[in-house]
Amino acid sequence: MSQPSVPLVRVTRGPLTECFHHGHIAVVDTAGTVLHQAGDPHFVTFARSAAKPLQALPVIESGAADAFGLTGEEIALLCASHNGEELHTSTAAAILGKIGLSELNLRCGAHLPFHRPTASAMRERGEAPTSLHNNCSGKHAGMLALAVRLGAPTEDYLSLEHPAQQRMLEAVSGMSGVPESSIAIGVDGCGVPVFGLPLSALAAAYARLGCPESLAPQRRAACSRVTTAMAAHPEYVAGDDRFDTRLMRVSQGRVLGKMGAEGVFAMSVPERGLGIAVKIEDGAKRALYPAAAEALRQLGLLDADQLSALSSYHRPLQRNWQGTEVGAIVPDFRLV
């Protein structure tokens, strides 16, 4: 039987709590055992972009990464919901060049960069965004690399029936322990299949990603390359002003994190064999990072200095248009 969500984060203004954000958290080991929770650890939700590190695995397992000489930075970009900064767009273009394709082959669509200075500069120049600026262009470049490696068509790589998408579905299933037939399939914002899983299964996939000793040798090696790339090049996974990147830098790669749209965040703690998945029920990003950082604090995975370095995400202040502090976004739950 499903359990109700619980308040995870409250938003204060002066002496009052003005808003609550409810949600769920699962802390899981590599066997899939739920060790700690808040709300319903088995709440089913779409992983959204939190699935990207798992989707990168078949690009490596197929031999595509080696065949096309993908660098650590490029593998990190396969896992990214990036800012659309120059380092991101140039790296996505480099992957496409290595496989003999171009941005014209991307079918993720175009949007302005998440990085405000980059977006502002483009507006001032009258420059329209391209598909390379899409935060998912790295993932799509990886899908195309996999398609080319498999000798499959590149035109319909978004289709669930495409061999590249079938490889990625298998990877998500294998890592999470959820049979392919039980994974709910939707369409993500960038047009590709997206996977609906129990939160505990997403957390288990991340536990195994960081601690893959129980997996087959080929998958174990692929997991190691993905996590090594994310830890070494966190700026390619998101961007300098993003929680994902900041968390991996502050923790020196001891915690690997990846956000997903609509209030999803998944983390791997390789040296502890833990996976953590957070879901904010109303999808609010403002509540997501405080909840994720607080879960790490309660688990003893961040020390005082690291929490201080993440304070603007852990307990961000609320300011009015004059810049006056008027309240805060406060994580307020206890893992059991």
Average confidence (pLDDT) over 308-335: 97
pLDDT at residue 1 greater than cutoff 90: no
Average confidence (pLDDT) over 18-29: 98
Q: Which domains does the chain have, with CATH numbers?
A: 42-313 (3.40.710)
Contact indicator for 332, 12 with CB cutoff of 8 Å: no
pLDDT at residue 189 greater than cutoff 80: yes
**Structure tokens that stand for 108 in this block:** 């993720």
Q: Which residue has the tokens 């949007």?
A: 111
Q: Does the pTM exceed 0.95? A: yes
Report pLDDT for 240. Answer: 85
Write the burial class of residue 134 (CB in 10 Å: 0-12 exposed, 13-18 middle, 19+ buried). Answer: buried
Distance separating alpha carbons of residues 118 and 164, to the nearest angstrom: 32
Other beta carbons within 10 Å of 124: 8
The 3-class secondary structure across 93-159, one letter per residue, is HHHHHHCCCCHHHCCCCCCCCCCHHHHHHHHHHCCCCCHHHCCCHHHHHHHHHHHHHHCCCCCCCCC
Average confidence (pLDDT) over 91-117: 97
Model confidence band, residue 2 (pLDDT cutoffs 50, 70, 90): confident
Residue spans of beta strands (DSSP E) within 14-61: 16-29, 34-38, 44-46
**Structure tokens that stand for 253 in this block:** 């790669």
Q: Which residue has the tokens 């650890």?
A: 41
| DSSP 8-state symbol, 5 | -
Residue range 242-277, pLDDT digits in tens: 999 999 999 999 999 999 999 999 999 999 999 999
Write the burial class of residue 100 (CB in 10 Å: 0-12 exposed, 13-18 middle, 19+ buried). Answer: exposed
Report pLDDT for 166. Answer: 98
Average confidence (pLDDT) over 74-86: 98
- 3 state DSSP class of 190: coil
Report pLDDT for 67. Answer: 98
Strand partners, 329: 11
| DSSP 8-state symbol, 263 | T
Residue range 200-231, pLDDT digits in tens: 999 999 999 999 999 999 999 999 999 999 99
Average confidence (pLDDT) over 101-127: 97
Q: Which residues contact 308 (CB under 8 A, 6 or more apart)?
A: none
